A and B are shown apart, each in its own frame.
Chain A
Amino acid sequence: MQESLHHSTTANDVMERLTTTTLAALELLFSGNPELWEIIAISFQVSGIAILVATPPALLVAFVLSYYHFPGRRLLISLNSTLLSVPAVVVGLTLFILLSRQGPLGEWKLLFTQTAMILGQIALAFPILVAMGHSALQACDRRAWETARTLGANPFRALLTIMREARFGLMAALLAAYGRIIAEVGASMMLGGNILHYTRNIPTAIALESSKGEFAQGIALGLVLLVLAFSLNAFLQHFQGKGQPA
Chain B
Amino acid sequence: MNNAIAKHFLKPLLACLLLSMGTVHADSDHNIRLATTTSTDNSGLLTALLPEFQADTGYNVHVIAVGTGKALRMGRDGDVDVVLVHARAAEDEFVSQGHGDKRYGVMYNDFVLVGPKEDPAGIANAKDVTDALKRLADHSATFVSRGDDSGTHKKELGLWKKAGVTATGSWYREAGQGMGKVLQIAAEMNAYTLTDRGTWLAYEKKSPLKISFEGDPLLFNPYGIIAVNPQKYPDINHKGAQQLIRWLISPEGQERINNFRIGDNRLFTPSADAGEFASFNHSK
Contact = CB atoms under 8 A, between A and B. Distances in A.
Interface in B65-89: 65, 77-80
Interface stretch (B17-25, B125-133, B140-148, B152-160): B17-25
B12 A113 contact: no
B63 interface: yes
Contacts of B33: 112
Contact of A193 (B12, B62, B77): B62
A53 B8 contact: no
Contacts of A53: 13, 16-17, 20
* Interface size bracket, B side: 35 or more
A115 B180 contact: no
A232 B181 CA distance: 33
Interface stretch (A22-30, A128-136, A139-147, A152-160): A152-160
Contact of A109 (B27, B64, B181, B203): B27
Contacts of A113: 23-24, 27
A104 B50 CA distance: 33
A102 interface: yes
Interface string B108-148: 00000000000000000000000000000000000000000
B24 to A, nearest CB: 5
Given A101-B77, A211-B184, A213-B203, A156 B4 contact: yes
B79 A100 contact: yes
A212 B42 contact: yes
A213 B204 CA distance: 11
A212 B180 contact: yes
Interface stretch (A84-92, A194-202, A237-245): A194-202
B55 interface: no
B180 A56 contact: no
A49 interface: yes
B79 A114 contact: no
A160 B235 CA distance: 46
A143 B77 CA distance: 56
A52 interface: yes
Contacts of A100: 77, 79
A34 to B, nearest CB: 13
B79 A213 contact: no
Q: Identify whether the interface residues of A are mostly helix, strand, loop, or mixed.
A: loop
B79 A56 contact: no
Interface string A211-246: 111000000000000000000000000000000000
Interface in A91-145: 100-102, 106, 108-115, 118
A56 B4 contact: no
Main secondary structure of the interface of B (DSSP, over half): helix
Contact of A49 (B16, B78, B80, B203): B16
Nearest to B44: A212
A194 B78 contact: no
Contacts of B42: 211-212
Contact of B79 (A101, A118, A194): A101
A157 B65 contact: no
A138 to B, nearest CB: 22
Contacts of A211: 42, 177-178, 180-181, 184
Contacts of A109: 27, 235
A212 B202 CA distance: 9
Contacts of A115: 20-21, 23-24
A207 B112 CA distance: 25
Contacts of B4: 156-157
Contact of A112 (B8, B17, B64, B181): B64
Given A52-B16, A157-B1, A211-B184, 13 more contacts: A56-B9, A56-B12, A102-B77, A102-B78, A109-B27, A111-B79, A112-B80, A156-B1, A156-B4, A156-B5, A160-B8, A211-B42, A213-B184
Interface of B: 1, 4-5, 8-9, 12-13, 16-17, 19-21, 23-24, 27, 33, 42, 47, 62-65, 77-80, 177-178, 180-181, 184, 202-203, 206, 233, 235
15 contacts: A52-B12, A53-B13, A53-B20, A106-B78, A108-B24, A110-B24, A112-B62, A113-B24, A113-B27, A115-B24, A156-B1, A194-B64, A195-B63, A211-B42, A211-B178
